[in-house]
Amino acid sequence: MIPPLLWSRRPAHWVCSIAVLLLLGGCTDDRPNVFLITLDTTRADHLGCYGNADIETPSFDALAAAGIRYDSAFTPVPITLPAHTSILTGTYPVYHGVRENAGFYVPSSARTLAEILLEEGYDTAAFVGAFPLDSQTGIDQGFEVYDDNYPSSLDKTTHPQLRRFFDERPAADVSRAALAWLDRRQGDGPFFLWTHYFDPHQPLLPPSPYRERYPDSPYDAEIASTDEAVGRILARLERDGELDNTLVILTADHGEGLGEHGEATHALLLYSSTLRVPLILRGPGLDAGTTVSAPVSTVDIFPTVLQQLGLEIAPEVQGQALPQSDQEAPEQREIYAETMLGRLIYGWSPLERLTADHMMLIRGPSDTRLYDRAVDPDELNNLGPSRPDERDHLTDRMAQTKDLLAWEGRRFSRGEDAAPGDAAELQAALARLASLGYIGAGAAAATMDDEIDPDRPDPLQMMEVFRLHNEGTALVESKRFDGALAVLLRAEQLDPGNPAVLQALAQAHQGRGDGDASEQVLDRLLAINPEDVRTLLLLSQHNANSGQLEEATGAMEAALAIEPSNLTTRLLLAQMLEDLGNLEDSEANYREILAQDPDYVRALNGLATLLYRQGDTSEAITLLESALEKQPFYAPAWLNLGVIQWGQGNAERALELAERALELRPGYPQAETLRARSLAQIGE
């Protein structure tokens, strides 16, 4: 039997008893819903409501007209996973420890907005558009339904970490799944719905009619397409009479460089082109058509939701509730931002930024740049040399801000910043934080080396290498390997030994079929760092392409020994062992994944297919039903249940299940095949 859509039990204090129902004739719950919309890679100045006359974004504009628009909202980090972790925890990356996409996980000790609202009796569901927010990262904490059902390169046994472009699904599919959840939702209690749209991220492949409407700007076409997808959910809420009782928050994880300051994309630099984001708040009791110009952060979303719902804000929360007017804004707000991409991916130095009212400071290893955004909104005129006193003062403030944000985390994680029993020092630190506009500090800060390093290259001076690497990896992705090789060799000349460039070179050689050259580059990489997970994954791929599956599994196992929490790697290892015929070890790896994360539906699905091929149909069905209980929108599980039904001669049921998979994932080729075979078997 296919499982019904199940929901977790509500806390007892929100449940109406039979006696109350008999006395009152019903149970009402008028607490507001919460609808969080995050747009990936979306600049504020590319929305109509932020003054862009060249684009039509009617859904976003209507939200702004009915609510509060924040004109100076900034993300604390221009990278998807850490930015969303900050949104959902109200803390900065230096505290929660998620500093990049690959290899970082939201700690289980983190208190997410979803966890809090679930405890308060809310239905919680998330529908995300791309792999950086995959459930294995831990970002799914507190969501009863976490739908990351995008077509996955894992289906082709390709590790997403080896690809430049992430696995994703279009905005229309994200909204379709969210609307299906709203249709199926049981009960009259409030909900917390989060939808994430990846479309404005590279590669830009807008759907019709938007690609025709914006022929010269595929970026704007993707944003306009996303606006339509969001509008369908807003229209449904309005039709159902829910919109006016829903707190709607629209924002972005980060912006996009679009060539400004030499940055075509994002993540390396800290200019406002990638840090300034849209932020709109609409809901009960909020004044329509309000604009707030004071600087705010997306870290402020978490405490704002709690305040609007009348819930307690824990002391570790570092954001502060968003002001509802400029008169409510604090007189001085200092907002910290960072990027670790240069350090973690390229071997360069990190960068740090402080926004203080209209002044902005970016600090690197060779230069500290000062800008006055009031007169220089594009941040082109570096005032550092002409105003050294102000530059140095803000540099000191930035260092103090960063230290205070991480202070308690370092104290608890390493014990080296304070002696036992130093309550007075803790209170003094928290008081300093409050003076800077932060509610609190926390205990989960990462202990990695995140200091500006004068001995490492300055990302501000390495933009040509960054550009060539991005161009080369895009050519690898599009299988134009000769062109990729030429571009990447130029990058290597400019920055010999750069690990990201060498890894892309290895992929280009692999793509050209030059296994010897690829192996030589991989040997160089392993000599530089034998414990680099991405290099080991590339070695595994190289060995697999060469037909050396045992060596490929060995490299995969070495990567897992370094990063045992990477469930994607373990899933690919299980698949590789299955291909080798080592079914016992394959099954063991599937079960190890489920021991770490019982809700990991790809492992439930993979183990089910392995057991079915060995003749254990009963447990295979149980595993697939469990996967669908946890994620009712996971198309491969519906497909595999259909395959089992077809194998048992039940073509009509197989057809129903194939069509369900196609409803969830239009164009799904395996489901199309099952549908055709089922139709043939029943004579249609």
Could you give the CA distance from residue 72 to residue 90 in angstroms, rounded to a whole number?
A: 18
598 phi/psi in degrees, rounded to 5: -60, -15
pLDDT tens column, 187-208: 789 999 999 999 999 999 999 9
> Going by C-beta distance under 8 Å and a sequence separation of 6 or more, which residues neighbour residue 22?
none
User: For residue 11, what pLDDT is reported?
Assistant: 36
User: For residue 3, what pLDDT is reported?
Assistant: 36
Could you give the CA distance from residue 675 to residue 684 in angstroms, rounded to a whole number?
A: 11
User: Residue 615 belongs to what H/E stretch?
Assistant: none
In the chain, residues under CATH classification 1.25.40.10 are 598-684
More confident residue, 143 or 407: 143
> DSSP 3-state assignment of 315?
coil
Express as a percent the part of the chain with pLDDT over 90: 78
Token representation of residue 461: 């001076």
User: Residue 475 belongs to what H/E stretch?
Assistant: helix 463-477
Could you give the CA distance from residue 565 to residue 595 in angstroms, rounded to a whole number?
A: 11
Determine the average pLDDT of the residues in 267-293: 97
User: For residue 156, what pLDDT is reported?
Assistant: 64
CB neighbour class for 463 (10 Å; exposed up to 12, middle 13-18, buried from 19): middle
> Going by C-beta distance under 8 Å and a sequence separation of 6 or more, which residues neighbour residue 317?
89, 90, 91, 302, 303, 439, 440
DSSP letter at 455? T
Determine the average pLDDT of the residues in 276-297: 97
State the sign of the Cα–Cα–Cα–Cα dihedral 199, 201, 205, 209: positive
pLDDT band at 432 (very low <50, low <70, confident <90, very high): very low
Whether the CB-CB separation of 351 and 269 falls below 8 Å is answered with: yes
Token representation of residue 523: 């040997």
pLDDT tens column, 391-417: 999 999 999 999 888 874 444 343 333
pLDDT tens column, 460-474: 999 999 999 999 999
User: For residue 150, what pLDDT is reported?
Assistant: 81
pLDDT at 308 over 60: yes
Determine the average pLDDT of the residues in 326-330: 92
User: For residue 632, what pLDDT is reported?
Assistant: 86
Name which of 9-18, 270-279, 367-376 the model is least confident about.
9-18
pLDDT at 32 over 70: yes
Residue that is written with structure tokens 């969501």 in the block:
143
User: For residue 536, what pLDDT is reported?
Assistant: 94
DSSP letter at 339? E
Determine the average pLDDT of the residues in 258-278: 97
Whether the CB-CB separation of 79 and 267 falls below 8 Å is answered with: yes
Residue that is written with structure tokens 């690829």 in the block:
518
User: For residue 417, what pLDDT is reported?
Assistant: 38
Q: How many CB atoms lie within 10 A of CB 90?
A: 32
Concatenate the DSSP letters of all residues of 483-514 into one string. Answer: HHHHHHHHHHHHSTT-HHHHHHHHHHHHHHT-
Determine the average pLDDT of the residues in 102-110: 90
The pairing of strands 145-147 and 334-339 is: unpaired
Average pLDDT, the chain: 88
In the chain, residues under CATH classification 3.40.720.10 are 12-345
Token representation of residue 395: 């540099």
Cα→Cα distances 26→12, 13, 390, 446, Å: 16, 16, 63, 49
Whether the CB-CB separation of 572 and 604 falls below 8 Å is answered with: no
Determine the average pLDDT of the residues in 16-32: 47
Supply the pTM of this predicted model: 0.89
CATH 1.10.10.10 matches 598-684: no
Could you give the CA distance from residue 447 to residue 469 in angstroms, rounded to a whole number?
A: 29
Name which of 164-168, 530-534, 576-580, 640-644 the model is least confident about.
164-168
User: For residue 422, what pLDDT is reported?
Assistant: 43
Token representation of residue 543: 């060995």
The architecture of the domain spanning 12-345 is 3-Layer(aba) Sandwich (3.40)
User: For residue 416, what pLDDT is reported?
Assistant: 38
pLDDT at 15 over 60: no
Whether the CB-CB separation of 78 and 339 falls below 8 Å is answered with: yes
pLDDT tens column, 47-68: 999 999 999 999 999 999 999 9
Pick the closest to residue 147 from 173, 165, 113, 110 (CA basis): 173
The end-to-end CA distance of the chain, in Å, is 26
pLDDT tens column, 592-651: 999 998 988 999 999 999 999 999 999 999 999 999 988 888 899 999 999 999 999 999
> Going by C-beta distance under 8 Å and a sequence separation of 6 or more, which residues neighbour residue 237?
33, 35, 243, 246
DSSP letter at 436? T
Whether the CB-CB separation of 126 and 146 falls below 8 Å is answered with: yes
pLDDT at 480 over 70: yes
Residue that is written with structure tokens 């749209």 in the block:
197
DSSP letter at 11? P
Whether the CB-CB separation of 136 and 107 falls below 8 Å is answered with: no
